Structure 1
């Protein structure tokens, strides 16, 4: 069942100057992106470290390593409805601030898992609690910052906001992986998590005196699931594209170590570099040419990148595949998110974007443990074959949406 479209947002392509002229709130938007970058290092630093900690230090298997990574994303899925409703009703600043506090709490609890004297299973249980809180923090911060940014510059620039937010997140992933591994080698798991807890605190200080945007406390709202149903196919596309990134985040380092290749920490760097490069150079494209054409081209590139990792016979080819995957994944979320913003009214925007983001979280949460099972039986390389297949299915769905959109416009 479709929701009424946002009457303030045109159903055709935006005006050419919608993304070219500098908006007066651009400086505050950039500050929000910087806060997101700094705080998301808490996540980026932990992604390559958690699997090594679980398999190496705790002596548990790949499935548990995948669960240690993926449980944070599952937590994010389960709390997207809360984050979207809170952002709509109490304001995006409230959601972002609470999320930063949960980031800090989750990192500090994860720190305890790395302290000496705990049994492996006790340490793993403590780690899971910390990862759950980090997932809640991610849900609140991402939805809050996106809603805050769109509230500052308007829905006509929603693609630009989503592109900038993604550049901050994946930029943090690009540098967070090597930083996390370096801190792990120098200070151990507890030390790496302790430094990760400081960074969201800096974000809280940065937004403390920053003005928020208006909330919609009294507006009538349909159920969260009705909102999600109206954007289901758009969400399916970002879910399928997210499998490739989740495979890189959870198993690229272990894949390199299994092959005896050096520079394992550069996988996320290669991915993030490609991701940020496209966001910086082409972040305006969804607002300029439409979301679906951008998503279709991007999914094709991601498919090629995943195939290249799967077939790689040396580390340079695998890193090139990670870079191509980053190029492909970069614009899919903002491209499809722009389409979602056009489908809903302003007072439902937080809930819609929360539900939309949850589709990607599902990919991140389930890929870790399921790919761990596959890695145990068929090797790490075949995990990336699954990523390639998922991206190809997403491409088919996006082509179908594009065809349906064209038929609706010509009717």
Structure 2
């Protein structure tokens, strides 16, 4: 398989940036598997509270995406990325404190929630700055590939972080698991200091943030609907397996992430080659099948197959729609637009946790994935309508 980038001076810098993102994003991935278990089994709270603890990071990411994009456009990607990595580490240390037995369950939950909120702001800064930095390095004509590789790095970390987090939790407990999580962005901070940043655009004229959102919101809505399926797996797949007394609970993240990364590595050039909407239409159809397979599964093998298909389906939707967004705005608004675009996906992640937790408490875990399937099918319908409208204009 050929490299997705030409052999120029920017390629090694971009690949190093991707490696730093992978290592640091394990700080986000490791807690996803263990926070729901810790909240429900150790602190004694209901599934809705576990969903809130997971979703809090995504909620704070939503709120901070616009600010993160404007900061990256005005001040430069390197500074924004370093700020985000610092917040990763600080949030993980607070989550570590929530594992101490000297705290009451309520106090531990509050500390955990604050830590998760900080991690969410850090994720906003790191995600937007790395995407903007990568496009600045290799050019907007390869924006789909940049988004694909950034996503492969993130979801590769998710695939590894899930089982690693559960093993650490079982062997050394919650606090030490969070200590490992806090160390990883510190390594990223040391590595990113070796890279040269890209030029910011501090003086360019800028429309309002909401004006930018008005330009891109249909594409954002598609990734929002897509994100519900992943959020359902992230918050409740492990608990679903534990409730059913099925083995291999930690492999749900691995199955999802394996399908996700496989798709990115093999077909990462498809949005740039065929256009974003055709790729999204096929991908959303696959995600719908995957979510419905988890919902209807009567054994762990079928549920894991559904997680794998969900990973295949989710994989190319964000870069496909992100490619369209990049070409809708001028360069000095790129990070701002991508920040707003990413917030739609964060909205899905943040809402799904607590709302799906309430649904799981009342109707069981399986119906959470039925909702994910319906959401993906709705995204499929919107993408198909946008594609037909585009063809009618040609």
**TM-score w.r.t. length of structure 2:** 0.98
Q: CA deviation at 1:209?
A: 2.1
- How far apart, in 1, do the equivalents of 2:364 and 2:133 lie? 43
Q: CA deviation at 1:71?
A: 0.5
* 1:37 paired residue among 22, 29, 39: 22
Q: Which residue of 2 aligns with 1:115?
A: 100
Q: Which residue of 2 aligns with 1:14?
A: none
1:156-235 equivalences in 2 (<5 Å): 156-235=141-220
Q: Which residue of 2 aligns with 1:309?
A: 294
* 1:343 paired residue among 303, 318, 328: 328
Contact 2:152–2:264, Cα closer than 8 Å, also in 1: yes
- How far apart, in 2, do the equivalents of 1:284 and 1:395 lie? 21
Structure 1 residue runs of 5 or longer lacking an equivalent are 1-16
Query: What is the total number of aligned residue pairs between the two structures?
Result: 393
Q: Which residue of 2 aligns with 1:278?
A: 263
Please give the per-residue CA displacement for 1:244-282, whole angstroms capped at 9, x wherever unaligned.
000000000000000000110000100000000000000
Q: Which residue of 2 aligns with 1:135?
A: 120
Structure 2 residue runs of 5 or longer lacking an equivalent are none
Q: Which residue of 1 aligns with 2:310?
A: 325
* 2:47 paired residue among 62, 77, 81: 62
**TM-score w.r.t. length of structure 1:** 0.94
Q: Confirm whether residue 85 of structure 1 aligns to residue 56 of structure 2.
A: no
- How far apart, in 1, do the equivalents of 2:156 and 2:367 lie? 27
Q: CA deviation at 1:68?
A: 0.3
Q: CA deviation at 1:81?
A: 0.9
Q: CA deviation at 1:343?
A: 0.1
Contact 1:38–1:203, Cα closer than 8 Å, also in 2: yes
Q: Confirm whether residue 72 of structure 1 aligns to residue 51 of structure 2.
A: no
Q: CA deviation at 1:168?
A: 0.3
Q: Confirm whether residue 371 of structure 1 aligns to residue 361 of structure 2.
A: no
What's the Cα RMSD here? 1.1
Q: Which deviates more, 234-243 or 178-187?
A: 178-187
Contact 1:235–1:360, Cα closer than 8 Å, also in 2: yes
Contact 2:14–2:137, Cα closer than 8 Å, also in 1: yes
Q: CA deviation at 1:404?
A: 1.5
Please give the per-residue CA displacement for 1:23-69, whole angstroms capped at 9, x wherever unaligned.
43111111111111000001110001000000000000000000000
Contact 1:177–1:268, Cα closer than 8 Å, also in 2: yes
